[in-house]
Chains A and B, each alone.
Chain A
Amino acid sequence: MARTVPALIVGLLVVAAGIGLVTLRVNPYLYFAGYVILQYVVIATAWNILGGYAGYVNFGTPAFFAMGAYTSVFLIQSTRAPLPVLILAGGLVSALLGLGIGYLTLRLRGVFFSIATLALSIVLQTMIMNWEYVGGSRGLSVIRPSGPPFGNYVMFLFTVMVTLAVVAVVTARFIERSWVGRGLAALRDNEEAAECMGVPTLRLKLFATTISGFLLGVAGAPFPYYVTFVEPNSAFNLDYAVNALAMPMIGGTTSWVGPVIGAVLLGSAQQLATVTISSEMNLFIVGIVLVAFVVLAPEGLLGLVRRLRGR
């Protein structure tokens, strides 16, 4: 517990820095881009709790992200709930989704979980496209609440996302260093041996899936207010699927640091690239980078650094 307090203090300092950055009122584009990069910090960190720590690959990140976003849309349309409620609700819905898919597939081999998540996004997208209340396939306009802190809603969302990123990273770090994290590492290394050594593998896997889903939903909840026009193709965008994999792979999957590095590097690169190359080219390059890292540097940048230092 003593080790968590310094981490929390650092986290609070980061949030304060975020707020400070906002009050400085630098180039407004920074806040738009910064929001996306921070969103990816949450997404990559969330993915890694299940993928890196437990070794179970979730290909359906868009499903969890979009369910967070569309839960928000639903609540905005029906109750005009405040942002904290939207975030919690989005997180809870995606957590339940994770628990559900996990419960159905985690007793089998890991590959079935992955295949189920792959099909999940596509099916959920189809279902949302048929739901008129949240806009269906045409999409829905969402009006930002008036009178935001800092006078500008995007700047406010920027600070919200800073906070969410800190929460996600602190959570991941806490899990990683706890007995849960050690159990997850054991089941990642050899699930059969872990179970025979007393590790309740099913329970831990369900825990990881639920937390991961929760954080992904939390990342998606502010999305409607960020884009102001929500439609299924953007909420379920394949970008989320491939980036959620590439960022932890590039940074390194065994620690909370890896997804952060990957999100900042790859996210920034993509933000810079969107003005110069087409989004398809961007995706193509991310795909190549992902395969290159998986084949040549499976332990990511963290692993390379460790190797250079000589262990």
Chain B
Amino acid sequence: MAGALLEVQGIVKRFGGFTALNGVTLHVKAGERFGLIGPNGSGKTTLINCISGALAGYAGRIVFDGGDITTLPAHRRTRLGIVRSFQIPKPFTSMTLQENLDIPLEYAARERSQDAAADAAAILDSIGLGAKAHLKPAGLTQIEMRKLELARALAARPKLLISDEAMAGLSSAEVDDILAILFRLNEQGITIIMIEHIMRAVMRFCERIAVLDAGQLIAEGTPQEIVRNHAVEKAYLGE
């Protein structure tokens, strides 16, 4: 499909006898703000894991930026520009915040970064963690940890950023904080896939939304279309 940065074609993923994804096909356009929602256990994180390369052994095809990445290991996909943040933050605990960002700057974005130290400091500043750059992650608050996840993802210079429930458990003000950061990133040209349960964030942020339920795509469209979609209502609220 022309203009699509990411194309996911017929992804099927099984865990033993359990089918987590049953033939999911979707595409994300370059520069788009894309939402992926669905009830718990619908397969969102599994899909993200397949796209980012954290999971292997799935059937189907994934095309990114014109190239087939289906069999590439995760670190190669990151270098190509697919970066994900983790639902439960996974910082490098023995390193300072700055050093945490040095890793992706060095490994994922080497060609795209001139001065790693300055870049790391700049990213931390832009996201509000500049003051803590030389501290270790142990003392961070919840929202600071989430910001660190995003900052680290940014340091990998993503073309496509997958934000996996970055706002879960945050206060309303904190949600707005993260949302502002994501809007800003999108303005800079980064395509964003947002996985969230916080509906007001999804409605405000996303241009297009895909809904998963029990491993299948049940609806796709603008926020207004999704809200009115009967199948979506059924998936979330039951009959």
Contacts and interface: CB of A to CB of B under 8 A. Distances in A.
A and B touch in the complex (CB under 8 A): yes
A185 B95 contact: yes
A195 B54 contact: yes
Contact of B92 (A193, A200, A202, A254): A193
Contacts of A193: 86, 90-92, 152
A218 to B, nearest CB: 29
Contacts of B183: none
Interface in A185-215: 185-186, 188-190, 192-202
Contacts of B53: 195-196
A201 B76 CA distance: 11
Nearest to B83: A196
Interface string A165-195: 0000000000000010011011011101111
B94 interface: yes
Interface in B94-115: 94-95, 99, 102-104, 106-109
B103 A182 contact: yes
Contact of A182 (B83, B102, B156): B102
A168 to B, nearest CB: 23
B84 interface: yes
Contacts of A185: 92, 94-95
A198 B107 contact: yes
Nearest to A189: B92
A202 to B, nearest CB: 8
A190 B106 contact: no
Main SS at interface, chain A:
helix
A186 B90 contact: no
A198 B104 contact: yes
A179 B103 CA distance: 9
B79 interface: yes
Given A182-B102, A192-B54, A193-B86, A199 B92 contact: no
A49 to B, nearest CB: 16
Nearest to B104: A197
B52 interface: yes
A110 B208 CA distance: 41
A198 B108 contact: yes
B94 A188 contact: yes
B54 A197 contact: no
Taking residues whose C-beta sits less than 8 angstroms from the other chain, chain A's interface range is: 20 to 34
A198 B95 CA distance: 17
Contacts of B86: 192-193, 196
B50 to A, nearest CB: 13
Contacts of A183: 103, 106-107
A179 B106 contact: yes
A254 B103 contact: no
Nearest to A193: B90
Nearest to B74: A195
A190 B92 contact: yes
Contacts of A188: 94
Contacts of A201: 75
Contacts of B102: 182
A199 B75 contact: yes
Contacts of B104: 197-198
A182 B94 contact: no
Contact of A254 (B79, B83, B94, B107): B94
B188 interface: no
Of the listed residues A183, A190, A195, A198, the one surrounded by the most CB atoms of chain B closer than 10 A to its CB is A198
A130 to B, nearest CB: 40
Given A179-B106, A182-B103, A183-B103, A197 B94 contact: no
Contacts of B152: 193, 197
A179 B92 CA distance: 15
* Best-surrounded residue of B54, B84, B103, B155 (most CB of chain A within 10 A): B103
A115 B197 CA distance: 41
A183 B79 CA distance: 15
A179 to B, nearest CB: 6
B93 to A, nearest CB: 5
B94 A196 contact: no
B191 interface: no
13 contacts: A179-B106, A182-B106, A183-B107, A185-B95, A190-B91, A193-B92, A195-B74, A196-B52, A196-B83, A197-B83, A197-B107, A197-B156, A198-B156
Given A193-B92, A195-B54, A198-B75, 15 more contacts: A179-B107, A183-B106, A185-B94, A189-B95, A190-B91, A192-B90, A195-B74, A196-B53, A196-B54, A196-B83, A197-B103, A198-B79, A198-B103, A198-B108, A201-B75
- Listed from nearest, the 6 A-B pairs whose CB atoms lie closest are A198-B108, A198-B107, A193-B90, A189-B92, A197-B104, A198-B78
Interface of A: 179, 182-183, 185-186, 188-190, 192-202, 254
Interface of B: 52-54, 73-75, 78-79, 83-84, 86, 90-95, 99, 102-104, 106-109, 152, 155-156
